[in-house]
Structure formats: C-alpha cells, structure tokens
Amino acid sequence: VADSNSVGTRNVRLSGIKAYLKYAATRDMELVPLQIGISAVKHKKTYPKRHNWLDKADVEVLLAQPPHTKIGIRDRFIILFLFSTGARLGEMRAIQLKDVIINEKYPYIRITGKGNKPRIVPIPADSFLENYKYYYRLYHHKGTPDDYLFYPTAKGSKEMMSEDNVQRILKKYGDAARRSNPKLPAVHPHLLRNSYGAQLYRLGVSLPEIAKLLGHEDISTTEIYAETDPEMA
C-alpha cells in the first residue's frame, strides 16, 4: 500500500526514529546495529519553498549591502544576529549585553522567549564572534551589563530599538539586495528566523533540537523545515 503522507511528513518521522534509536543505542548496546542501519536510510529529496527562507548565499548578498560606515556596521550585525540566532524580533530587541556570554569555553546567547522562558543559543563557530566584538567596540566601549545590545543612535540614549526601526533596516537592505538578485523575497525578521531553522536542518540538526533552539513549544511548528533538502549544505 502506498504511503499517503507527504514527503515532508515522512522525513519528519524518519528524523524522529533516527533520534530515538540514537538515544536508545546509548542505553542498550544490542540496538547499535539497528541504529547504524537506520541512520544509513536517506531522507527523501524535497525542494525548499523559496519564499519561506533564504539560503546562505542569499544572506551573503544581503550582508553585502550595508555601507562600511558606523551605522552600516550596526545594520549589518543586526542582519547577521537574526540569521545566526533565530531570535524573534522582540527577543532580539530585548537582548542586553549581559545576555551575550563570550568568556566561556562555548560562548552563547541567553534569549528570553515567549512567556519569559529562557533558552540558550550557542554562538556560531564562524565570523559571528569577531563581528560581535567589532560591533561592541564601536557601540559599547563604555557599556554596562544592562544596556540593550541594539539601540537607536538618533535619540542619544541606549533605549530599546523599536520594531519599526529594525523592520525599516531589513527592508532597506532587502530592497537593495533584490537589485542584485530579483528572486529574493521581501526581507523581514521572521524570514531570517526561518532561514536559521532551515539552515540547521540542512546541516543535519534534528527537529527536536531545532525546536529547542527556536523556542517552539510544539514541534509541529518546526516540521516546516522538513520541506528542505537535508543533503544541501
């Protein structure tokens, strides 16, 4: 009998089986051969919905748009922050300097999500930390732990940046990026959040772990990422 479920659903179920067997095999060595066999089963190829997220090359085009000025460096780091952490707009705006922990073996960002639920997001092992330090030197050389990471420069105080300001920044550079690549969708904060989740899935991160990093209470919300091709990097 043919399976009537969608390819995405089948990929989700296969990921769940693999994750469970990986755990079970650590508790019962007799399950190791089964776990190895199941881990070799490939996901069915699917094609990402291009208007749901950006791939890494798209984001690189977007990051190339801000000018090499002090404001441009801030705007570029806002884009990089959203793509590298999967933070919601409100979560990003609420980040304070004390929430960015870099003096640990494994640096991380503490994000406060819906219902004031905290979660930990590892700082990516790429240029993110270098960009953060550069941004910090420009905008927080005399900062205090309670200062907001991002703040409007026009008002002369380090208050929380408005939603409209962040959305304006993303729209500005998204419009500029589309002049280079007309196929890019309109850029907004949630698009970058979805792009983070899709990138994790393509790198082989399990759906339960992605749900944890994104602060999803229901894993069914995370299943949209099964529509991507897990073999793409």
Q: Which residues are catalytic?
A: 88, 114, 190, 193, 216, 225
Q: How far apart are CA 189 and CA 164, in angstroms?
A: 11
Beta-bridged to residue 109, according to DSSP, are 100, 121
Q: How far apart are CA 209 and CA 19, in angstroms?
A: 10
CA distances from 154 to 71, 91, 96, 157, 161 (A): 11, 22, 19, 8, 11
Q: Are 196 and 84 in contact (CB under 8 A)?
A: yes
Beta-bridged to residue 111, according to DSSP, are 119
Long-range contacts of 106-113 (CB under 8 A, 24+ apart): 109/85, 111/85, 111/87, 111/215, 113/88, 113/215
